[in-house]
Structure 1
Amino acid sequence: MNNNNRVKGIALGGILAAFAVICVFFASILPTSVLTLYAVSSLFISVIIIEFGTKAGWTFYLVSSILSAVLIPRLEVVPFVVFFGIYGLIKFYTEKIQSRILEYILKFAYFNICLLLGLFFLKEIILVGVTISAPIYIVVGLLELVFLIYDYVYTLFIRFYASKLKPKLKI
């Protein structure tokens, strides 16, 4: 990476990290659209990975997670740090696997582990103001469906960025 690309990478990383932190901040204070804001916060890492590679992606994840934890010292940062902030990297590595079945097994395994941890340790964040009267297996099944849609929309975003935005931005 030459010096000009390094400067572009740092500048773009800083701007996108700020956007991610802003999304997490709003997710922590707004009463609605929390999952949407977390989902949007997770998209920025994919731009970094496309433009500068996985090493920059890991750096972006660490920086945006640390900034979120320092600037928003609340438990609402945990979903970003544990799941949404790193999902772009998880998606990148699992989609390199040749088997689509194994790819989705790994994605769902990661999602379900995060979901289990969230349900046991972060009920007050994830289920704010929600009373669930359905059996847990139905709730988990619905959340897995939401995750599948999230993964699909994430893929659409990556395709849109790579085919439409990247050529116009010329980073």
Structure 2
Amino acid sequence: MHVRARAIAFGGLAVALSIVFMILGSVIESNTLFLLAAASYFVGIVIREFGLKIGAAFYAANVILGLLIAPNKFYVISYAAMGLYIFLVEAAWQVMARGPRSAQRKSFFWVVKYLIFNAMFLPGLFFFQDFFFSGNLSLGILTGVAIGGQLGLWIYDQAYEYVQRHLWNKYRGRLLR
């Protein structure tokens, strides 16, 4: 199969699965975050397999199609934030890979990840409280939520790395022949 055709075929299947996960997140309320995270992991898979340009097109197609099809638009916005985080982290990794090798690269990459996450999370938390919560929260509760968000990022990122290293590497040979 031609390389472009393979990318388009795999991208189409991954878009379909991502949309199904977004819709299932609306139906199965107890697993919403898990399903949205699973949908967003496809952004990283497509980027690692086919590059940033195809990954950006894949991400945009998912967000647009999700807004058109998914019943709960808030979940599509949540997916968009998760997918954007993965897109920016993968782009940062590709930029760092071109630079000189350093023993501190892994710790620097974690700093970059937290900067990307906090640039997205903290403004939303502090300036759009009414969007996420039923009323204004005290500074202490907002601080607790901000700290909880850092822990949530660590869990999300560890799960993403597990999916990329173990699950995707196990199945990619079977799916991308």
- Give the Å deviation of 1:42: 0.8
**Residues 121-132 of structure 1 mapped to structure 2, 5 A cutoff:** 121=128, 123-124=130-131, 126=132
Q: Which residue is equivalent to 2:77? A: 78
CA deviations 1:36-71 (Å, max 9, x no partner) are 121111111222123212211111011111111111
Q: Which residue is equivalent to 2:173? A: 167
Question: Structure 1 stretch 60-69 or stretch 97-106: which is displaced more?
Answer: 97-106
Provide the identity percentage. 26
Question: Structure 1 stretch 161-170 or stretch 63-72: which is displaced more?
Answer: 161-170
What is the TM-score normalised by the length of structure 1?
Answer: 0.80
**Residues 1-171 of structure 1 mapped to structure 2, 5 A cutoff:** 4-72=2-70, 74-81=73-80, 83-96=81-94, 97=96, 99-119=105-125, 120-121=127-128, 123-124=130-131, 126=132, 135-161=141-167, 163-171=169-177
What is the number of equivalent residue pairs in this alignment?
Answer: 165
What is the TM-score normalised by the length of structure 2?
Answer: 0.78
In structure 1, what residue type is equivalent to 2:91? Y
Change (3 A) 1:23 1:118: farther
Structure having the higher helix fraction is: 2
Structure 1: give runs of 5+ residues left out of the alignment: none
In structure 1, what residue type is equivalent to 2:152? V
Q: Distance in 1 between matches of 2:9 and 2:129?
A: 34
In structure 1, what residue type is equivalent to 2:170? K
Structure 2: give runs of 5+ residues left out of the alignment: 97-101
Q: Distance in 2 between matches of 1:51 and 1:138?
A: 38
8 Å contact 1:50–1:162 — kept in the other structure? no
RMSD: 2.7
